[in-house]
Amino acid sequence: MSGASALLADVFGFDAFRPGQAEIVEAVSAGENVLAIMPTGGGKSLCFQLPALMREGVTVVISPLIALMRDQVRALQEAGVAAGALTSGNTPEETDEVFEALEAGRLKLLYIAPERLAAGSAVGLLRRVGVSLIAVDEAHCVSQWGHDFRPDYLKIGALRRDLGVPLAAFTATADAETRAEIISKLFGDEAPRSFLHGFDRPNIHLAFAAKDGPRRQILDFAAARKGQSGIVYCGTRAKTETLAAALREAGQTALHYHGGMEAEDRRIAERRFQREDGLIVVATVAFGMGIDKPDIRWVAHADLPKSIESYYQEIGRAGRDGAPAQTLTLFGPDDIRLRRSQIDEGLAPPERRAADHARLNALLGLAEALKCRRQTLLRYFGETDVSCGSCDLCDRPPEVFDGTVAVRKALSAILRTDERFGAGHLIDILLGHETDKMRQHGHVTLPTFGVGKEYDRRQWQAVFRQMMGHDLIRPDPERHGALRMTDAALPILRDQAGIELRKDSIRQAGSRRVAVKMMVSEEDAPLLSALKAKRRAFAEAAKVPAYVIFNDKTLIEMAEKRPQTVDALARISGVGAKKLERYGNAFLEVIVGEVQPMHPTRRKLAGRTAGSVYDQLLEVQATLARGEAGQDKPLSCSSSQLAKLAQLRNADAQTLEKLLGDRRAERFGLAFLDVLREAG
């Protein structure tokens, strides 16, 4: 594994593997067939990029989206890796370049679009250029039942057999059906080694809030994160447009996005989002698959998502670079009603509808959770050993109260009115309001009339919402607005079970305070924005997204650790050798002002032990430049000789002599050996 670790540090600038990466890299580079399921942001790309560098020949990467392929290729090239793409988006020059590099045996990674596989010539080409590994990104696109199905993905299995090389497939979609389909379509009867990786995304902060002036809630959330890229998901197309306009009015840069837009306009929005820093896209769930932006800093739901799976997928678009990201999901009784009726009015068979209700229930359970959201969320995905500290409930545990009596009163109001009324009228009954409707239905004489005066209307609304959240009551699909009791409520009604409700959503204070959330502490913030400005300048000059230069996590670490030397800079995660060479000085200048020039040979050793060994050799050499007595002819070693020495392991006199020649070995040999022994 040490070869892989060295490449990880040198090429990508990372000092450690993320969980699971090491085993996958090992298996893939050993030539095993692999299916790896990792959550978005888990670092899948590295799991085929590193093995590609370790193996002989070319690795073909099949990936569904041209724009994303191009970005990955740019990012690899920035890191000094010979990568190219063959897609319909290429200019003729780009295509020529790729072919040239291929024929010359220079290319390590070749990205191709699945459509290319349809052309018969593809197989011939791939065989000729010595493809030794196939990597398939977004492997679930092979699934005919999924929404991302790509017919050309079905050709991959045959390609693997024709070329007779190992295949590594990657996806974030973990359900068992899709997994089985991927295996049968891509691997046939040679079952791959499977890796299933955890679903926790510890850098994503989770939060829910009951709707209470939802537009204002979203505007505040965005205002606290001004200048950071974010997505707001909305339930309807119309709302994406009005909310985007409201955000613009509030001084944000915001676009709307939905499936009803012209394809061209959608592409423009996707592209701007991908490239620009600090843009907000207000979108329906149509916005997703085409997005591979690692530095999305926040995701807000202006409306409740459809299910717990959708929720996980949508918030999961935030913070793929591993730097902190925030989410906020708003929900209210209307959302619950809407989602229920969408399921009830859908065309799915009854058992499917029941399953959809259950998945919605899981999400509502999360929304109304009383303890850690992360634990509640991951428990649903089968993970029990979860630590958190990064959700609204861990930040501030909710106040709870025994809601059994309140719930029983509400249920009684529902049952005594034959489950024919909605929350508004039911609350009037509980509060004892003598409205016309009340008299008309003769409800003033009900025993339940006026039994709920201990709470006000708002508080009762929160009780009803939580009852819906716990699936104790559901909107009646037959009768608009009416609430029916579910079987889940029976034990409470019969006094066999109690229920705790949250107090904070009952009496939510209207305090409106927008504290700007910064990604670093106050004193590091100015430096971070200076580093970002420098990054933007490079990104614009190279016409690449900002994260291709350095991602947010790397800049945050720079702002916090403030490296003073090239060596210290090289030790920042995300600063590989190539990037150090290209951008090191410019970023160091932002941090320390002027930077002392450094010999290029020495720079290559930056951040490594060999670097400081080199410095010591240089010092020793200076003291001996004119011999022990200081009277001999000046003599010195070349910088490349020193660099070679500095990287030697188990140096001895003979090696030294071979490297330096007699005269230099005689003058410096013993002193150098001392330095090397000390270091080794």
Selected from 4, 10, 11, 21, the binder of ligand ADP by CB under 6 A is 21
356 binds ligand ADP (CB under 6 A): no
Torsions phi, psi of 86, nearest 5? -115, 105
Q: Out of 4, 10, 11, 17, which residue is the one contacting ligand ADP (CB under 6 A)? A: 17
The option from ligand ADP, Zn ion, none interacting with 388 (CB < 5 to 8 A, set by class) reads Zn ion
Q: Whose Cβ is closer to ligand ADP: residue 25's or residue 414's?
A: 25
Q: How far apart are alpha carbons 660 and 667 in whole angstroms?
A: 10
- Out of 10, 25, 27, 40, which residue is the one contacting ligand ADP (CB under 6 A)? 40
**Alpha-carbon span 104 to 117, nearest angstrom:** 22
Paired tokens of 492:
């409470």
Taking CB under 5 A as the rule, does residue 388 contact Zn ion?
A: yes
Q: How far is the CB of 610 from ligand ADP (least distance, A)?
A: 22
Q: Report residue 90 CA to chain centroid gap.
A: 28
Among 108, 116, 256, 320, binds ligand ADP (CB under 6 A): 320
Smallest gap, in angstroms, from Cβ of residue 367 to ligand ADP? 26
Q: Which residues contact 422 (CB under 8 A, 6 or more apart)?
A: 481, 482, 483
How far CA 273 is from CA of 72, 220, 320, 446, in Å, comes to 16, 21, 15, 58
Tokens representing residue 539 in the block:
């990104």
Angle at the Cα of 324 (from 322 to 327), degrees rounded to 5? 115
Evaluate whether 504 touches 398 at the Cβ level (below 8 Å): yes
Residue 584 binds what, of ligand ADP, Zn ion, none (CB under 5 to 8 Å, by partner type)?
Answer: none
* Minimum CB–partner distance for residue 328 and Zn ion (Å): 15
Least Cβ distance, residue 504 to Zn ion (angstroms): 15
Q: Which residues in 549-568 contact ligand ADP (CB under 6 A)?
A: 551
Query: Per DSSP, what are the bridge partners of residue 168?
Result: 34, 135
Q: Does 192 bind ligand ADP (CB under 6 A)?
A: no
- Which of 64, 214, 322, 452 touches ligand ADP (CB under 6 A)? 322
Least distance from Zn ion to the Cβ atom of residue 200, Å: 11
Ramachandran region, residue 169 (left: φ > 0; alpha: ψ -120 to 50; beta: rest): beta
Give strand pairing partners of 136: 62, 169
C-beta of 378 vs 660, nearer to Zn ion: 378
Nearest to 570 by CA among 66, 15, 97: 15
The listed partner (ligand ADP, Zn ion, none) that binds 44, CB under 5 to 8 Å by sort, is ligand ADP
Q: Return phi, psi of residue 411, to 5°.
A: -65, -40
Interface with ligand ADP (CB under 6 A), residue from 46, 79, 315, 367: 46
User: Given the complex with ligand ADP, which of 476 and 552 has the nearer CB atom?
Assistant: 552
User: Measured from the CB atom, is 21 or 505 closer to ligand ADP?
Assistant: 21
Residue of the chain from 25, 28, 34, 43 that contacts ligand ADP (CB under 6 A): 43
Q: For ligand ADP, give the closer residue by CB, 46 or 247.
A: 46
The helix (run of H) or strand (run of E) holding residue 257 is strand 254-257
Give whichever of 20 and 114 is closer to ligand ADP, judged by the CB atom: 20
Q: What would the two tokens of residue 627 be?
A: 């011999």
Which of 35, 391, 539, 617 contacts Zn ion by CB under 5 A?
391
Site size with ligand ADP, rule: CB under 6 A: 18
Checking DSSP bridges between strand 400-402 and strand 208-210, what pairing results, if any? Answer: unpaired
- Contacting range for Zn ion; rule: CB under 5 A; set: 293-301, 304-312, 370-378, 669-677: 370-378
Q: With CB cut-offs between 5 and 8 Å by kind, which of ligand ADP, Zn ion, none does residue 40 bind?
A: ligand ADP
Under rule CB under 6 A, residue 274 binds ligand ADP = no
44 is a contact residue toward ligand ADP (CB under 6 A) = yes
**Both structure tokens of 262:** 């012209």
Q: 521, 493 in Cβ contact below 8 A?
A: no
Which residue from 20, 41, 230, 403 is in contact with ligand ADP, where contact means CB under 6 A? 41
Interacting residues with ligand ADP between 276 and 305 (CB under 6 A): 294
38 binds, among Zn ion, ligand ADP, none (CB under 5 to 8 A by kind): ligand ADP
Picking from 515, 512, 511, 558, the residue whose alpha carbon sits closest to that of residue 534 is 558
* 140 DSSP 8-state letter: G
Cα–Cα distance for residue pair 214/330, rounded to 1 Å: 7
Q: Considering the rule CB under 5 A, would residue 374 count as an interface residue with Zn ion? A: yes
Helix 423-431 and helix 404-416: axis angle, to 10°?
110
Of 518, 480, 549, nearest to 297 (Cα)? 518
Cα atoms in the 13 Å half-sphere on the side-chain side of 303 = 20
Build a one-symbol-per-residue string for 638-667: x at contacts with Zn ion by CB under 5 A, - elsewhere.
------------------------------
Q: Centre a 10 Å sphere on the Cβ of residue 629 and count the other Cβ atoms it contains.
A: 6
Name which of 12 and 449 has its Cβ closer to ligand ADP: 12
The nearest distance, CB 51 to ligand ADP, in angstroms, is 13
Q: Which two tokens stand for residue 173?
A: 């979609």
> Which region among 43-51, 283-291, 487-495, 671-679 touches ligand ADP (by CB under 6 A)?
43-51
Residue 8 is classified by DSSP as I
Nearer to ligand ADP, 35 or 660 (CB): 35
Interacting residues with Zn ion (CB under 5 A)? 372, 374, 388, 391, 394
Interacting residues with ligand ADP (CB under 6 A)? 14, 17-18, 21, 38, 40-46, 294, 320-322, 551, 573
